Amino acid sequence: MCGIVGAVALRNVVPILLEGLKRLEYRGYDSAGLVVVDDGHLTRVRSTGRVADLTERSATTTGYTGIAHTRWATHGIPSERNAHPHVSKGQIAVVHNGIIENYEVLRSTLTAAGYPFSSDTDTEVIAHLIHRHYARGNSLLVATRAALAELVGAYAIGVIASDCPDQIICARRGSPLLLGVGVAENFIASDVSALLQVTRQIVYLEEGDVVELTHQAYQIYDKQGNQVERAVQTSELSNESVELGLYQHYMQKEIHEQPQALANTLESVCNSQSLVPGIFGAEAAATFADIDSILILACGTSYHAGLVARYWLEDLAGIRCNVEVASEYRYRSSVPNPKQLIVVISQSGETADTQAALNHAKALGQPHTLAICNVPESALVRLSKLRLLTRAGPEIGVASTKAFTTQLAALFLLTLVLAKSRDRLSVRQEQQYLQELRHLPAAAQKVLDLEPLIATLATQFADKQHALFLGRGLHYPIAMEGALKLKEISYIHAEAYPAGELKHGPLALVDKDMPVISIAPNDALLEKLKSNLQEVRARGGELYVFADADTHIHEVDGIHIMQMPEHAGYLSPILHTIPLQLLAYYVALQKGTDVDKPRNLAKSVTVE
Ligand code: M6R
């Protein structure tokens, strides 16, 4: 989604802004722009192309203070006139992430007051509002605060003025924003990766904070207007972790990082001899003793992780579990249960629907909350009583890969801890699962060896319009995840079904042009699955089967087998995900799509 970078320094900040935008490209955007204060004027450059295009266009632009933005369209089509920054009367410039809900009313009022609008965005009202207060003789800080008081909605903003050559005002409410502290220079950004080029000293802003920055200092004011201190933290994110290295795409890199990401996520547990609730936080033991059920809330791929976890939690921990898409739950009348543990799952920790669903659950009087998240300082982590951080490292590709498999690993830990706390896990079983978890990174590494085979297989998909994914039990959500990956980056329409549902409708679709991809682990449902596959073959369907050893499914005409190295029992969904990610990746390569930035999608979905 939209990204913000800003800098105030004693040097030309344009290269810093452009590099920051480049590092935010992964979030997804359709236009970009920047504005600097240059000799008492605002110089603005915008583009509907990539940041590389903006870089070319700003070759002669210089300034010591500036703000920049990548826009993902919400109000108004992707176009240069709608790209940020938005400027009021040549004097005030604003970049904004989020959505202003009362912008139509404000737009009418401002139009009547003589402010001409040159875009269709909600953001432009912010620029004009600030200008109106500024023109009355207020400082930029006071004018911004007065404008913010009139806004309904979510925002992270950066503001500069043509006659304030050494000042940025920024603020956040409902959208993330942080400060970067440098030596005689200061920065703002919506994501820490944008600032690693210049500083690792980061201040994470709180809801309602407004900040005044100069090159020498910054003052933070909380939502009541009191000056406050916020801790400066040293970011541990390495530069390499956000760089592509030898890989062709971030998605490929991130698929290959899964063994390490799993090892990192499981590190503390695998190094110990027993599982303790404390890994979820100090209050975990008391919370787990008080709960009678679980409700998992998430979106997209993270929702699929929740669906897998339901099988684990009910089977191993014997605890009732429901999983719901966050955007549905937040608007539905549901029956609250104060003894229910609300688990939110999110890679980014910023997803607006998941955040709203969590707040909704809490407002209904459900105090037990747990976040499984990849970003430690994110809103979801801060809003939850308990947390388990996946340690996947930054995920840049829009298609979620290593975040998903590490979420599964974290959810398996939750299952084991709850099973243990409910006396459903013997010491022997605990040791056996710990051993399987220790082996998981190596097992994932072996699955990656299938890559050349899958790359060849992918050539058979490039001309297909549709694909069907089948799985059963624990692997049905993995079929859903495989279908999501394929449609997201290759634009091939894909659907997933529990294999037993085939004859209740989707079988009608099967013919030689509909590839059917099946996950065939060597588990209790294997024989049932084999019958379902026969139903496909009997209708001339082409089958692509990801099969464990000993499944005795043989490669014959119309059945292509990809042999998985080993069966991983309950952890099998984690391993079976990897070839499906690779398949989607290589089909997308065949089709020449923009793998890391698929059309219309954004990495962090910070708007509804
Ligand atoms: O950051 P989150 O995990 O909350 O994101 C949720 C979805 O937007 C995300 O998983 C999306 O479905 C991915 N692009 C799928 O690859």
Q: Please indicate whether residue 591 is annotated as part of the active site.
A: no
- Mean pLDDT, residues 145-149 taken together: 97
Which protein residues are within 6 Å of ligand 1, measured from CB? Answer: 299-302, 346-348, 351, 354, 398-400, 484, 488, 604-605
Nearest CA to ligand 1 atom 14: 399
Measured in Å, residue 188 CA sits from the centre of ligand 1 at: 25
Please spell the DSSP secondary structure of 344-382, one letter per residue. EEESSS--HHHHHHHHHHHHTT---EEEEES-TTSHHHH
Fold of 2-242: Glutamine Phosphoribosylpyrophosphate, subunit 1, domain 1 (3.60.20)
22-33 mean pLDDT? 84
CA of 485 to the centre of ligand 1 (A): 11
Q: Provide the residue ranges of all domains of the chain, joining segments of one domain with +.
A: 2-242, 250-425, 450-591
- The protein residue with its alpha carbon nearest to ligand 1, atom 9, reads 300
pLDDT digits (tens, 9 = 90+) for 436-448: 999 999 999 999 9
Cα–Cα dist 495/516, whole Å: 10
Distance spanning both ends of the chain, measured CA to CA: 11
Instruction: Supply 422's token pair.
Output: 């409910």
Residue 278 clears pLDDT 70, i.e. is over it:
yes
Given this model, what pLDDT does residue 198 score?
96
Distances, alpha carbon 69 to alpha carbons 162, 189, 395, 404, 490, in Å? 18, 9, 20, 28, 27
Q: Do residues 8 and 213 touch, judged by C-beta distance below 8 A?
A: yes
Query: How are beta strands 543-547 and 516-520 bridged, if at all?
Result: parallel
Position 525 confidence tier, pLDDT thresholds 50, 70, 90: confident
User: What's the pLDDT at 503?
Assistant: 83
Angle between the N-to-C axes of helices 402-421 and 572-591, in degrees from 0 to 180, rounded to the nearest 10: 170
pLDDT at 62: 96
pLDDT bracket for residue 140 (50, 70, 90): very high
472: amino acid identity, one letter: R
Cα 302 to ligand 1 centre (Å): 6
Cβ–Cβ under 8 Å, residues 138 and 124 = no
Active site residue 170: no
Predicted local distance difference test score (pLDDT) of residue 205:
92
CA distance 73 to 137: 34
Task: Give CA–CA dist 211/511, Å, rounded.
Answer: 61
572: left (phi over 0), alpha (psi -120 to 50) or beta: alpha
Confidence of residue 553 (pLDDT cuts 50, 70, 90): confident
* Pairing status of strand 340-346 against strand 293-298: parallel
CA of 61 to the centre of ligand 1 (A): 36
- Tell me which DSSP letter residue 389 carries: E
Residue type, 133: H
- Its CATH architecture, for the domain 250-425, is 3-Layer(aba) Sandwich (3.40)
Residue 239: pLDDT over 80: no
Residue among 546, 577, 572 nearest 559 (CA): 546
User: Is the pLDDT assigned to residue 583 strictly greater than 90?
Assistant: yes
Residue among 27, 299, 401 to mutate when testing ligand 1 (max atoms within 8 A of CB): 299
Evaluate if residue 209 carries a pLDDT over 90. Answer: yes
CA distance 280 to 268: 12
Q: What pTM value is reported for the model?
A: 0.79
70-75 mean pLDDT: 82
Task: Inform me whether the pLDDT recorded for 604 exceeds 80.
Answer: no
Task: Identify the band that residue 247 occupies on the pLDDT scale cut at 50, 70 and 90.
Answer: very high
Q: At what angle do helices 572-591 and 427-448 cross, to 10 degrees?
A: 20
* pLDDT confidence band for 1 (50 / 70 / 90): low
Mean pLDDT of 380-397: 92
* Ligand 1 nearest-atom number relative to CA 603: 14
pLDDT score, position 100: 86
Nearest-Å Rg of the Cα atoms of the chain is 25
Q: Which atom of ligand 1 is nearest to the CA of 301?
A: 10
CB atoms within 10 A of CB 555: 12
Q: Where are the beta strands (DSSP E) in 386-463?
A: 386-389
Task: Determine the distance separating the centroid of ligand 1 and the alpha carbon of 536, expressed in angstroms.
Answer: 31
- Least-confidence region, from 338-342, 344-348, 380-384, 487-491: 380-384
pLDDT > 70: percent of the chain:
100
User: Are 175 and 97 a contacting pair, CB within 8 Å?
Assistant: yes
Which atom of ligand 1 is closest in space to residue 605's alpha carbon?
8
H/E run at residue 32: strand 31-38
In this predicted structure, what is the pLDDT of residue 16? 97
Identify the pLDDT of residue 267.
87
2, 299, 321, 373: which one is catalytic? 2
Six token digits for residue 449? 């060896």
What digits encode the pLDDT tens for the residues 41-51?
A: 999 999 998 89
What is the model's pLDDT at position 552?
Answer: 80
Specify whether the CB–CB gap between 520 and 553 falls below 8 A: yes
* Superfamily, domain 450-591: Glucose-6-phosphate isomerase like protein; domain 1 (3.40.50.10490)
Per CATH, 2-242 and 450-591 having the same topology is answered no
